[in-house]
Structure 1
Amino acid sequence: MAERVMTYWSLLGIDPTADESVIKKAYASQLQVYHPEEDPEGYQRLREAYEWAKKRAKALQAEATSCGMDEDEWHCDTYDIDDPDDEISVLQSSWQAADSESSPLKRHPAQVFFEQMEELYDDFPRRIDPEQWKILMASDYMWDMDHQRERLSGLLRFLEKHRHFPRKVWDILNQSFYLLEQKEDLFELYDEEEIAFIIGQIQGTAELGYACFEERQLNFDIEHYLTLRQDAQTLLMEDNPVAARDDLAEAYDLFQHDPDLQLLQAKCYLRLGQHSEAKLCLQQVLKLKPDEHEARLLLAHFLYKEQHYDEAIGECKLLEEQGVLNQDVMSIYGNSAIELGRIEQAWKKYSETEPIWQKFYHFQYNLMLLRMRNRHLFNQEHNPRHAEYKKRVRKSQMWSYGMLMFRLSWLYLFLFLLVYFIFGLPPVFLIVLPIILCRSAWKTLRTARMFIT
Structure 2
Amino acid sequence: MNHWEVLGIEPTKDKRVIKLAYTELLKKNSPTEFPEEFKNLRKAFELATKEAKKLEKAESQSSDSHHEKASLTEESRFTEKPAFTEEDTFSFEEADSFEEAFQGDEEAQAYTEERAPEPIELGSVDSIESLQMALHELYRDVQKRSDVEQWKRLFSSPIFWQVDQSQSLSICLLEFFSAHFFLPEDVFSFIDGNLKITGELSSTKNSHQRDMALALSIYIKSLPLRVGLGSHGQVNADVPFDKFLYHLQLRNYIENKCLYDNLEKSDILQLAAKILPEFKEDFALYEYMTKWLWSLDGYQEIHDLLDTLEISESVEDLLNYQAHAAFKIQDYHSALSLYLKIDQLDRDFLNTRLMFKDIGLCYLHLKEYEKAYFYLASAVRMAFTDIDIRAALTTARRLYIKELQKDEEANVIEIAQLQYQNGRYQDALTTTQNYHRTFVSNNNYLQALCLAKLGQLDDAFSLFQSFFKQYKRRQLCTWPLIVDLVEYCSEFITFEYLFEDLMDELETDDFSRSHEVLYQPGSVKEVAYSERESAVLELSIETKKPSCFKEYWDFIYRQEHAWAVIMVLRATLADYDDPSVAPELRQAALAGINEAMPKVKHNPKRVLPFLNIAYIESDYDTCFNLCDICISAYPNIAAAYYYKGRSLADLEKYEHAVPLLELSAQKFGNQEYGVYSLQFAIECCEKLIENGQPFHNKYTELSQQLKTMKEVVGE
Please report the TM-score for the alignment, with normalisation by the length of structure 1.
0.52
2:711 is matched with: 429
- The amino acid of 2:227's aligned partner reads A
- Any gaps of 5 or more consecutive residues in structure 2? 1-30, 47-126, 204-209, 365-371, 395-418, 424-519, 522-547, 558-597, 605-627, 642-659, 671-677, 679-699
| Alignment partner of 1:224 out of 225, 239, 246 | 246
1:412-437 Cα deviation digits (max 9, x unpaired): 7399956672387377535399xxxx
Contact 1:300 1:332 in 2 (8 A): no
Secondary structure of the residue aligned to 2:174 is helix
Relative distance call for 1:400 and 1:128 in structure 2 (3 A) is: closer
Partner residue of 1:175? 190
Structure 2 equivalent of residue 137 of structure 1: 155
1:278 alignment counterpart: 302
**Aligned equivalents of 1:386, 1:372: Cα separation in 2:** 22
Matched, 1:158 2:158: no
- 2:663 alignment counterpart: 410
Could you tell me which amino acid in structure 2 is paired with residue 249 of structure 1? A
Cα distance in 1, alignment partners of residues 163 and 386 from structure 2: 55
Bigger share in helix = 1
Contact 1:300–1:312 under 8 Å retained in 2: yes
Contact 2:316–2:342 (CA under 8 A) maintained in structure 1: no
Is the 2:380–2:389 contact (alpha carbons within 8 Å) kept by the matching residues of 1?
Answer: no
1:311 corresponds to which letter in structure 2? Answer: S
- The match for 2:379 is 346
Q: C-alpha separation between the residues in 2 aligned to 1:366 and 1:300? A: 20
Which of 399, 410, 414 does residue 631 from structure 2 map onto? 399
- Aligned-pair CA distance for 1:297: 2.0
Structure 1 position 141, deviation (Å):
1.2
Matched, 1:337 2:360: yes
Aligned to 2:275: 251
1:230 CA drift (Å): 1.9
Counterpart CA distance in 2 for 1:274 and 1:197 is 28
Separation in structure 2 between the aligned mates of residue 216 and residue 324 of structure 1, nearest angstrom: 41
Once the two structures are overlaid, the 10-residue window that deviates more, 173-182 or 298-307, is 173-182
Return the alpha-carbon distance in structure 1 between the equivalents of residues 603 and 269 of structure 2: 57
Q: 1:240, CA displacement in angstroms?
A: 3.4
Give the SS at the match of 1:250.
coil
Provide Cα deviations, 1:156-196, integer angstroms capped at 9, x if missing partner: 3322221223x3xx545543551597745566656666424
**One-letter code of the match for 2:272?**
L
Aligned to 2:228: 207
| 1:22-421 correspondence runs (5 A) | 103-105=38-40, 107=42, 109-124=127-142, 127=145, 133-148=151-166, 150-165=168-183, 167=184, 171-172=186-187, 174-175=189-190, 178=193, 183-185=198-200, 194-199=216-221, 201=223, 206-208=227-229, 209-218=231-240, 221-238=243-260, 240-242=262-264, 243-252=267-276, 256-267=280-291, 270=294, 275-285=299-309, 287-305=310-328, 306=330, 307-308=332-333, 310-311=336-337, 313-318=339-344, 320-321=346-347, 333-334=356-357, 336-337=359-360, 339=364, 340-342=372-374, 343-350=376-383, 368=388, 378=422, 383-384=550-551, 385-386=553-554, 388=557, 390-395=599-604, 398-405=630-637, 410=663, 413=666, 421=703
Letter in 1 for 2:322: L
**Cα distance in 2 for residues equivalent to 1:254 and 1:274:** 26
Counterparts of 1:422 and 1:225 in 2: how far apart (Å)?
Answer: 92
In the alignment, the residues of structure 2 paired with residue 186 and residue 172 of structure 1 have an alpha-carbon distance, to the nearest angstrom, of 18
- 8 Å CA contact 1:282, 1:299 repeated in 2: yes
RMSD, aligned CA: 4.9
Q: Deviations over 1:336-395 (max 9, x none)?
A: 4365223431134449xxxxxxxxxxxxx8554786899999569754344556433124
Residue 276 and residue 123 in structure 1: after superposition, are their counterparts in 2 closer, same or farther (change >3 A)? same
SS of the residue aligned with 2:314?
A: coil
Paired residue secondary structure (1:301): helix
State whether residues 128 and 169 of structure 2, in contact with CA within 8 Å, keep that contact through their aligned partners in structure 1: yes
CA distance in structure 2 between the partners assigned to 1:125 and 1:427 by the alignment = 93
Report the Cα offset of residue 119 of structure 1: 3.9
Change (3 A) 1:408 1:123: same
- 1:11-26 superposed matches below 5 A: none
TM-score (norm 2): 0.36
The alpha carbon displacement at 1:234 in A equals: 3.0
Contact kept? 1:126, 1:132, Cα under 8 Å: yes
Q: 1:199 to 1:152 in 2, by over 3 A?
A: farther
Structure 1 pair 121–244 and aligned structure 2 pair: CA distance change class (3 A)? same
The structure whose Rg is larger is 2
Percent identity reads 16
How far does the alpha carbon of each residue in 1:213-243 deviate from its partner, in whole angstroms, 9 at most, with x for none? 2234449643222111222133234463334
The C-alpha deviation readout for 1:99-123, integer Å capped at 9, x for no partner, is 9857424759335423431243245
Give the partner amino acid of 1:392: K
Cα contact 2:148–2:186 (8 A) shared by 1: no
Question: Could you tell me how far apart the structure 1 residues matched to 2:349 and 2:708 are?
Answer: 76
The answer to whether the 8 A contact 2:357-2:379 is kept is yes
